[in-house]
């Protein structure tokens, strides 16, 4: 089992990562955060999971001279790092870790825009991929059981050839929300704000389930709530490589909650909605009669994702679900709809 360092010890790593790392019997040998307090609290939380950390697990931070990220990356026993830090920070740390000979799993979005993502991937492929190092992106939507089942339904042909896809993702982020109460999200220095940070998930869902690529968009985007800069709502038209058309209505400033996707084919349709801790999948035939109705409970997506990453380290083959090109394709669609629409370069 690879020995792992966690770069970022805040709320999300503590809630989502630690239980999943424990579930796969991972060996967490070091934790880094900008503050000593956050790094220490993360290690203390990890002690709740027997065997995840030990007395030699290191605590690294920027407040104690000589005990920062460089010291962590100099450790020979650190084989891989998992990065969960603000979007603007991640690419530089990923390259620093790769230069130190570490495998890297980084959170989505991998960078602030297409240009920065392309630059990261180009440097990885030129310098570090030939050395057998893995760079993977943690897009958990591609590892969810309900999402995988939806993909299989479309691939089976039961709804026929895909004609249109319609997604409605509506919620309201308010001050006090735990995901809002981080300074880098309150004052984002990257395109789209929550439309990028959250939107890459929903674009990933559409691309993954449809097994199709979005090649062009046209859109209107705006900021509705003053505390959600620079944008919080977008209405977009989508064109797919197969010729299918679609719509994406996404808002983080909506008074009405909605989470639904409809995939319409030549023989019927699949409707996927978030419900009861999982994904409800309803297949209808061309007459509108329900053929199947199934609630697929959410699985421990990070357990599956982390296992996939460790397997990639062992085999030298990155899981396509976590490939940097897939993450870049998600960002490319979000960038397009935030700018009013455009043709989209294909990366996969």
* pLDDT tens per residue, range 26-62: 999 999 999 999 999 999 999 999 999 999 999 999 9
Q: How far is CA 176 from CA 86, 173, 227, 324, in A?
A: 19, 9, 12, 33
Question: What's the rounded Cα separation, in Å, for the pair 227 and 211?
Answer: 36
Would you call 79 helix, strand, or coil by DSSP? coil
pLDDT at 241: 98
Both structure tokens of 202: 């929903």
Low-confidence ranges of the chain (pLDDT < 50): none
Residue whose C-alpha is closest to residue 218's, from 200, 191, 231, 236: 236
* Distance in angstroms (rounded) separating the CA atoms of residues 236 and 221: 8
Domains and CATH numbers, the chain: 3-139+305-312 (3.40.50.720), 141-298+326-343 (3.30.360.10)
Query: ∠ at Cα 207 (222, 90), nearest 5°?
Result: 70
**SS3 at position 44:** helix
Distance CA 336, CA 343 (A): 8
pLDDT number for residue 169: 98
| 8 cis-preceded (ω within 30 degrees of 0) | no
- The pLDDT of residue 266: 98
User: Residue 275 has which token pair?
Assistant: 């419900």
Give residue-wise pLDDT tens across range 147-202. Answer: 999 999 999 999 999 999 999 999 999 998 887 888 778 888 888 899 999 999 99
pLDDT, residue 191, reads 85
């Amino acid at each position: 089992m690879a020995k792992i360092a966690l770069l970022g010890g805040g709320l999300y790593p503590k809630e989502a990562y630690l239980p999943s790392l424990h579930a796969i019997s991972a060996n967490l040998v070091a934790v880094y955060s900008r503050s000593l307090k956050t790094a220490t609290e993360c290690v203390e939380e990890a002690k709740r999971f027997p065997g995840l950390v030990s007395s030699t697990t290191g605590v690294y931070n920027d407040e104690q001279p000589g005990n920062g990220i460089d010291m962590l990356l100099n450790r020979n026993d650190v084989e891989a790092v998992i990065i969960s830090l603000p979007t603007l920070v991640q690419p530089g740390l990923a390259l620093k870790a790769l230069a130190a000979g570490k495998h890297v799993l980084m959170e989505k979005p991998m960078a602030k825009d297409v240009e920065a993502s392309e630059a990261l991937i180009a440097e990885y492929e030129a310098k570090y991929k030939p050395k057998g190092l893995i760079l993977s992106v943690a897009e958990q939507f591609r590892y969810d059981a309900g999402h995988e089942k939806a993909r299989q339904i479309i691939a089976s042909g039961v709804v026929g050839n895909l004609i249109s896809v319609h997604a409605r993702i509506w919620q309201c982020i308010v001050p006090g929300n735990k995901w809002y109460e981080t300074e880098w999200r309150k004052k984002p220095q990257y395109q789209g704000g929550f439309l990028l940070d959250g939107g890459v998930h929903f674009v990933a869902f559409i691309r993954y389930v449809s097994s199709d690529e979005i090649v062009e968009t046209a859109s209107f985007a705006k900021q509705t709530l003053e505390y959600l800069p620079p944008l919080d709502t977008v209405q977009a038209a989508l064109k797919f490589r197969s010729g299918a058309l679609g719509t994406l209505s996404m808002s983080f400033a909506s008074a009405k909650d909605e989470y639904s996707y409809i995939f319409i084919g030549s023989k019927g349709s699949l409707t996927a909605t978030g419900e009861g801790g999982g994904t409800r999948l309803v297949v209808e035939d061309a007459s509108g009669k329900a053929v199947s109705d199934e609630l697929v409970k959410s699985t421990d997506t990070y357990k599956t994702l982390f296992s996939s990453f460790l397997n990639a380290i062992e085999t030298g083959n990155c899981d396509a679900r976590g490939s940097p090109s897939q993450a870049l394709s998600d960002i490319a669609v979000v960038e397009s709809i935030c700018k009013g629409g455009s043709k989209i370069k294909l990366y996969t």
